[in-house]
Amino acid sequence: MTIRLLAEEVASRIAAGEVVERPASVVKELVENSLDAGAASVTVETRGGGREMIRVQDNGAGIPAAEVELAFRRHATSKLETANDLEHIATLGFRGEALASIASVSRVTCTSRCADEKMGTQVRVEGGSIVWRAAVGRPQGTELLVEDLFYNVPARRKFLQAERTERNHIDAFLTRYALAYPCIAFSLVHDGREILSTSGSGNAQEALLNVYGMDLGISLLPIPASLTNAQAVQVGGFVSPPSVHRANRGYITLFVNGRWVQDLRLTYAIIQAYHTLLPTKRFPVAFVTVTMPAEDVDVNVHPAKTEVRFRDGDAVFRAVQRAVRATVMDEAPAATAWQMPTSQPAEDISPSDRITRARLAGLTPLARQIALPSAEPPAATMSAAPPVLPNLPLTTPESVLPPAEPRSAALSTLPPLRVIGQASTMVIIAEGPDGIYLIDQHAAHERVLYERMVSAWLQGKIASQPLLEAETVSLPVAEAAYLEELLPALHTLGFSVEPFGAGTFLVRALPTLLTHLAPGDLLADIAAGADEQSPIHTELEERLIRRICKRAAVKAGQVLSREEMERLVRDLEQTANPRTCPHGRPTIIQISVEQLIRQFGRSG
């Protein structure tokens, strides 16, 4: 084949692949354009998860009538003139690629009017070609209507996720910008329903409450400006106190010079700042803004513009880590706050007190629950008679069981074990007829809780306990929408939760197994699993039970008494699959006597 230049249409379709990955990328590019145009209000509306329709409206500067068509040409931009300008970019856009890319994979209607124009201009572009143009009346600003995204790219269309997932990506993007730009009034509407609306009053705290909801919003600590006042790298934003944490890094958001960026190193700087303050495998909530001279950061790294390079990455790392650490240390509770309150008898504590206490301590007081079983309602304790578990494999539909592994009975059951002690506040060391057993306390407890809950669920007998006082829980926008979809399933699992409007829920009852947990944290963890991918197809309820048990199980780092360890080991012996946790990882490492003999070089 001979070499030839690609037609403009083909070239822009290829370029579009990098810029427009999914509906949320369209929202991102259009909203960034609105911000660059100096808009004070930005409205985003979608249908069908953005596939059917995305509309972004602003009251910014507008596009002059003579330039509307030009805006859709590749490499057409008003934000950059010379290569020199690339050294200090002050706008979010600069590549002149977004409109061309979006228009090449959808049908776009652009309507815009500048302040000094009498009439606005409307242009329709389909698959990259201008279809018509008209003069129309409209207020100052720009509206971009994007329909039938990827109608001409079947490959891309196939890879889109469920509508809900695409909506989540849009929510995650827009809520971040609403936080970073409190002076701008954002509104987000999916399928006619308003999900988010910020006032644009400029009050960052207010935006925080709008986006994260009351519970989380109020708990976050502002990073004081005084920490980095006179420095070249200024750090601002909000971070969680050590008592508030999440199961993944998804709640860490970074803005550099007004641009949302994804940067592994800075994310790590934030996590590092919490060193020794959080339970293992838990992550802070952080919204951190970094402001620095434009020439010290290169934003021209990737077409999607979410990666940056710093001239002095170490300095930025240190500035972020120090500012976050100083903010958090100011609030860090004394080390003893992490110990379980064992001196106070549990019967004095009302459920709501217990919830408050759990929330304050930030840790699950499970050890106390194990230590003082008699004080708790029977089904909530680890000493409760186990449900009829031996029947479990017979009565359980295939789909809710962990993948079947052909295994001899001798392998899948546990012999009676004698507890020797706890190591690294993580592992229970026990002895059995065939050597030494190292038991992961968290994984083992997860297994125990999981089988109890699955068995109770299959029998339709999950015990539910009303809270003394119904508790309101408010969740960030995206999670709230997802949680609402989960409510019927949660109901069958013993939750009584009602939507209460504006991302708020009323919790009336919890499964008895979970009454020691703070409802807010629990629901936040459940709703945070929105994007969880499971290799095997399982029922929603079963996935929820796994998520719940992960949250409810005793954590690494918790000191267990001998009695607690013995009870846990006995409970594990009772399970149908004692050797793996519900996520498939091992609960036990066994070292046989033969192995010991061999390793010590004895002949036996």
Q: Can you tell me the distance from the alpha carbon of 435 to that of 300, in angstroms, rounded to the nearest whole number?
A: 59
Q: Which is nearer to ligand ADP, 29 or 525 (CB)?
A: 29
* Among 329, 180, 288, 283, residue whose Cα is nearest residue 524: 283
Report the residue number, 98 or 518, with the smaller CB distance to ligand ADP: 98
The binder of ligand ADP chosen from 79, 124, 508, 570 (CB under 6 A): 79
* Distance separating alpha carbons of residues 85 and 559, to the nearest angstrom: 58
Distance (Å) of CA 23 to CA 47, 98, 586:
11, 13, 39
Partner whose footprint covers residue 190, from Mg ion, ligand ADP, none (CB < 5 to 8 Å by kind) = none
d(CA 462, CA 512): 8
- Please name the residues in contact with 343: beta carbons below 8 A apart, sequence gap of 6 or more: none
Binder of ligand ADP out of 24, 61, 417, 467 (CB under 6 A): 61
C-beta closer to Mg ion: residue 33 or 59? 33
**Does 34 interact with ligand ADP (rule: CB under 6 A)?**
yes
Tell which positions 90-109 bind Mg ion, by CB under 5 A: 93, 98
Among 41, 47, 69, 78, binds ligand ADP (CB under 6 A): 78
- Secondary structure class of 579 (helix, strand, coil): coil
E strand spans, 292-351: 297-298, 309-310
Minimum distance, C-beta of residue 108 to ligand ADP, in the bound complex (Å): 11
Q: How far is the CB of 21 from ligand ADP (least distance, A)?
A: 16
For 28, the 3-state DSSP assignment is helix
> Considering only 55-63, 242-250, 424-432, 546-554, which stretch makes contact with ligand ADP by CB under 6 A?
55-63
Q: Which is nearer to ligand ADP, 144 or 277 (CB)?
A: 144
Helices of type H across 330-387: 351-361, 366-371
**What CA–CA distances, in Å, run from 172 to 280, 287, 591?**
25, 13, 47
Torsion of CA 48, 49, 51, 53, to 10 degrees: 70
Binders of Mg ion: how many residues, by CB under 5 A? 3
Give phi and psi for 376, each to the nearest 5: -100, 155
Kindly tell me which residue out of 50, 60, 284, 557 binds ligand ADP, with binding defined by CB under 6 A.
Answer: 60
Closest distance between ligand ADP and the C-beta of residue 136, in Å? 16
Residue 255's DSSP bridge partners are 260, 289
Pattern of binders to ligand ADP over 94-123, x per CB under 6 A? xxxxxxx-----------------------
Determine if 482 is a binding residue for ligand ADP (CB under 6 A): no
- Quote the CA–CA distance of 331 and 242 in Å, as a whole number: 8
Radius of gyration of the chain, Cα coordinates, nearest whole angstrom:
28
Q: Which is nearer to Mg ion, 93 or 529 (CB)?
A: 93
Q: Smaller CB distance to ligand ADP: residue 79 or 138?
A: 79
Q: CB of 54: closest distance to ligand ADP in angstroms? A: 13
Report H helices in 493-561: 519-527, 540-552
Judged by CB, which is closer to ligand ADP: 55, or 322? 55
Q: Are strands 53-58 and 41-47 parallel, antiparallel or unpaired?
A: antiparallel
In this chain, which of 13, 22, 29, 439 binds ligand ADP, going by CB under 6 A? 29
CB of 92 to Mg ion, least distance (A): 7
Q: How far apart are CA 506 and CA 469, in angstroms?
A: 10
Sheet order of strands, 496-499 included? 464-474, 504-511, 496-499
Binding-site partner at residue 236 among ligand ADP, Mg ion, none, CB < 5 to 8 Å by type: none
Q: How far apart are CA 573 and CA 414, in angstroms?
A: 5
To ligand ADP, the closest distance from the beta carbon of 180 in angstroms equals 18
Nearer to ligand ADP, 23 or 62 (CB): 62
Give the containing element (helix H, strand E) for 451. helix 441-458
State the binding partner of 588 from ligand ADP, Mg ion, none, CB within 5 to 8 A by kind: none
Amino acid in position 114: C
For residue 366, the minimal CB distance to ligand ADP (Å) is 52
Closer to Mg ion at the Cβ: 56 or 419?
56
CA 438/CA 415 separation, integer angstroms: 14
Q: Quick one: which segment of 31-39, 234-242, 472-480, 505-513 binds Mg ion (CB under 5 A)?
A: 31-39
> Binder to ligand ADP among 23, 50, 62, 284 (CB under 6 A)?
62
Q: Which of 20, 26, 27, 37 binds ligand ADP (CB under 6 A)?
A: 37
**CB of 33 or CB of 515, closer to Mg ion:** 33
Q: Report the C-alpha gap between 47 and 516 in whole angstroms.
A: 41
Between residues 28 and 447, which has the closer beta carbon with respect to Mg ion? Answer: 28
Q: Cβ closer to Mg ion: 98 or 478? A: 98
Using CB positions, name the residue nearest to Mg ion.
93
To the nearest whole angstrom, how small is the minimum distance from the Cβ of residue 480 to Mg ion? 30
369 binds Mg ion (CB under 5 A): no
Asked if 20 touches Mg ion (CB under 5 A), the answer is no
| Residue 60 near which of ligand ADP, Mg ion, none (CB within 5-8 Å, type-dependent) | ligand ADP
Binding of Mg ion by 33 (CB under 5 A): yes
Contacts of 538 (CB under 8 A, 6+ apart): 399, 400
Of these, 33, 253, 465, 558, which contacts ligand ADP (CB under 6 A)? 33
CB atoms within 10 A of CB 332: 15
Judged by DSSP in three states, 289 sits in strand
Cα-Cα end-to-end distance for the chain: 73
Nearer to ligand ADP, 58 or 166 (CB): 58
The strand pair at 309-310 and 297-298 is best described as antiparallel
Contact indicator for 102, 84 with CB cutoff of 8 Å: no
Pairing state between β 286-291 and 252-256: parallel
Binding site for Mg ion (CB under 5 A): 33, 93, 98
Binding site for ligand ADP (CB under 6 A): 29, 33-34, 37, 58, 60-63, 71, 76-79, 93-100, 142
